[in-house]
């Protein structure tokens, strides 16, 4: 299938990005549409492997060789159908997924991988442009009602799958807009938000009811929901940020990344400043910004800071700098540890590795600098390896705004989790087995970050879909028992 010798003849060519100087002036997406023909050629590089490693490298198990072939043959509509078979929201993953599929691509072993993510995005975007993405309403309803807590990718995927199976899902969102982390966590330059709106619209026609501004466990009790609904699905994400317990943490100008990012996203959504930043504006404009944490959220902070005209941005990572290149013989097809540069980092940021923050230094209640030391792995009292500062390596960096982007430790307890009383894992996530999704309460299921802890959007979609299937199966069995 495809073009057997495509990979030998065609070079990898990914989307072009707008030049840094240009793109930091705008909040919009900056990757350019390469056009059908180029994407078709890129798809021809796919070798239709006997074992498509990409297919299992991808958490939603996208049928990558299959739609690559269709794209190569310019049958975009069929490709879209194939893509939607495994992925409810390819326009999201086509933009923000780190693309483990490409790491797993067979071509990545001795060459450079197929531009899978880019092709995925093009299929989805073209589908929307051409009007091929239509609601798929169930032929008959089952009359079973499901309450879903959280409208992030997991909740949305779960809801859509359930609606298409004929059930009646209602999505509860504590915030004022649907989307969860997709909506307020991810900057617009990576994901413009009208793509969420059109999905919501599609899902509404398919029969999903969206209830925003309702914090389950706070505004409505779980008990009440359990009376009204057959099943409750917890898909509220892992929103508890990891904190930095060092002296000076309470200084002004030290914020969690999410507080910073949400403000900007609200602004971009058109909210007035008092609504966008009810607890005070956090701005990077004209400041020396320190981002602590080297992950995706950290990068989002960098990109946002640049667009707010920060004076400088420095990113601190506690782990040592990973190798520039992985040893593919020992890592492929797995996700390798290697030095990656995000588009935001590309826009300019000092990156420091092996740095541990020891103190936040302030003047007048506001942060002015950050005191650090080199980090090394050393055995703690209990024998575990932990990161510790190397004595005598202290140094200081000037800081006007410190953003903590050190990851998330688990779901928020207050609200649905506490109120439902479901058992938790030692890590503090909702306890439910992968593939099963049933919590200690048989009528309550959990999926996405709330169950697995902080992870990728694509995993959330996968869990949402799987969870819907489990719920459907549960209802089918239960239905038989009742009949």
Element holding 469 (H helix, E strand): helix 457-482
Q: CB of 73: closest distance to other proteins in angstroms?
A: 8
Listed residue (161, 60, 162) closest to 117, CA to CA: 60
Q: How far is the CB of 60 from other proteins (least distance, A)?
A: 10
Which residues are at the interface with other proteins (CB under 8 A)?
A: 1, 4-5, 7-8, 47-53, 55-57, 61, 63, 65-66, 81-82, 85, 104, 106-107, 109-111, 138-140, 164-166, 329-330, 332-334
- The smaller minimum CB distance to other proteins, of residues 72 and 408, is found at 72
Q: Which is nearer to other proteins, 82 or 306 (CB)?
A: 82
Nearest C-alpha neighbor of 45 from the set 112, 111, 114: 114
Q: Which is nearer to other proteins, 58 or 216 (CB)?
A: 58
CB of 247 to other proteins, least distance (A): 43
Question: Judged by CB, which is closer to other proteins: 166, or 348?
Answer: 166
Closer Cβ to other proteins, 220 or 469, answer by number:
469
Collapsed DSSP state (helix, strand, coil) of residue 418:
helix
Candidates 221, 234, 247; CA nearest to 410 is 234
Closest distance between other proteins and the C-beta of residue 21, in Å?
Answer: 39
Residue pair 305/282 in contact (Cβ under 8 Å)? The answer is no
The per-residue DSSP string of 21-62 comes to HHHTT-SS--BPP--HHHHHHHHTT----SS-HHHHHSTT--
* Min separation Cβ 204 and other proteins, Å: 19
Residue 258: CB atoms within 10 Å: 20
* Residue nearer to other proteins on the CB measure, 106 or 315: 106
Q: Which is nearer to other proteins, 178 or 461 (by Cβ)?
A: 461
Shortest CB 311 distance to other proteins, Å? 46
Q: How far is the CB of 435 from other proteins (least distance, A)?
A: 12
Give 52 or 169: the residue with its C-beta nearer to other proteins: 52
CA distances from 181 to 4, 120, 148, 161, 173 (A): 41, 21, 16, 20, 11
Q: How far is the CB of 280 from other proteins (least distance, A)?
A: 48
Give bridge partners of residue 341 from the DSSP assignment.
Answer: none
**Minimum separation from the CB atom of position 35 to other proteins (A):** 22
- Smallest gap from Cβ 429 to other proteins, in A, equals 25
Q: Is the dihedral of CA 60, 205, 70, 40 positive or negative?
A: negative
CA dihedral 171, 174, 179, 182 (to 10 degrees): -140
Instruction: Please identify, using beta-carbon distances, which residue of 103 and 277 lies nearer to other proteins.
Output: 103
The whole-angstrom separation of Cα 467 and Cα 83 is 19
Nearest alpha carbon to residue 261 among 345, 314, 183, 369: 183
Q: Considering beta carbons, is residue 74 or 425 the nearer one to other proteins?
A: 74
Q: Nearest Cα to 96, choosing from 476, 426, 459? A: 459
Alpha-helical runs (H) found in 293-425: 296-307, 328-331, 343-346, 416-420
Q: Strand, helix or coil at 150?
A: coil
């Amino acid at each position: 299938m495809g073009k057997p010798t495509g990979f030998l003849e065609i070079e990898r060519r990914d989307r072009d990005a707008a030049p840094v100087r240009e793109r930091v002036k705008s909040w919009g997406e900056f990757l350019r549409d390469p056009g059908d023909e180029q994407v078709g050629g890129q798809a021809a590089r796919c070798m239709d492997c006997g074992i498509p490693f990409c297919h299992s490298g991808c958490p939603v198990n996208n049928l990558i060789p299959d739609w690559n072939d269709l794209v190569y043959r310019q049958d975009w509509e069929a490709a879209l159908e194939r893509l939607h078979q495994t992925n409810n929201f390819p326009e999201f993953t086509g933009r923000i997924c780190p693309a483990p599929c490409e790491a797993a691509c067979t071509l990545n072993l001795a060459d450079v991988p197929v531009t899978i993510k880019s092709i995925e995005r093009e299929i989805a975007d073209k589908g929307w442009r051409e009007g091929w993405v239509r609601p798929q309403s169930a032929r008959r309803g089952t009359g079973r009602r499901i309450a879903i807590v959280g409208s992030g990718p997991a909740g949305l995927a779960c809801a859509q799958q359930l609606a298409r199976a004929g059930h009646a899902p209602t999505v509860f969102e504590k915030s004022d807009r649907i989307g969860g982390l997709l909506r307020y966590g991810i900057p617009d330059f990576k994901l413009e938000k009208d793509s969420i709106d059109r999905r919501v619209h599609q899902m509404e026609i398919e029969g999903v009811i969206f209830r925003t501004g309702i914090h389950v466990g706070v505004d409505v009790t779980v008990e009440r929901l359990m009376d009204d609904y057959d099943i409750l699905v917890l898909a509220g994400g892992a929103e508890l940020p990891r904190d930095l317990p060092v002296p000076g943490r309470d200084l002004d100008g030290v914020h969690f990344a999410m507080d910073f990012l949400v403000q900007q996203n609200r602004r971009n959504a058109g909210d007035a400043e008092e609504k966008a930043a009810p607890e005070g504006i956090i701005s990077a404009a004209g400041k020396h910004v320190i981002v602590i944490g080297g992950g995706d959220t950290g990068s989002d902070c960098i990109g946002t800071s640049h667009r707010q005209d920060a004076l400088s941005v420095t990113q601190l990572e506690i782990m040592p700098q990973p190798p520039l290149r992985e040893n593919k013989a020992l890592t492929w097809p797995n996700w390798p540890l290697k030095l990656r540069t995000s588009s935001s980092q590309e826009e300019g940021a000092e990156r420091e590795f092996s740095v541990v923050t020891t103190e936040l230094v302030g003047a007048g209640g506001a942060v002015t600098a950050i005191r650090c030391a080199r980090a090394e792995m050393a055995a703690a009292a209990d024998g575990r390896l932990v990161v510790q500062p190397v004595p005598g390596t202290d140094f200081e960096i000037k800081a006007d705004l410190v953003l903590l982007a050190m990851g998330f430790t688990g779901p928020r307890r207050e609200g649905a989790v506490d109120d439902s009383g479901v058992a938790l894992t030692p890590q503090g996530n909702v306890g439910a087995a992968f593939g099963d999704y049933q919590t200690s309460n048989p009528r309550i299921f959990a999926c996405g970050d709330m169950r697995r802890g902080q992870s990728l959007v694509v995993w959330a979609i996968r869990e949402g879909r799987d969870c819907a299937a489990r719920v459907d199966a549960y209802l089918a069995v239960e239905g038989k028992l009742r009949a």
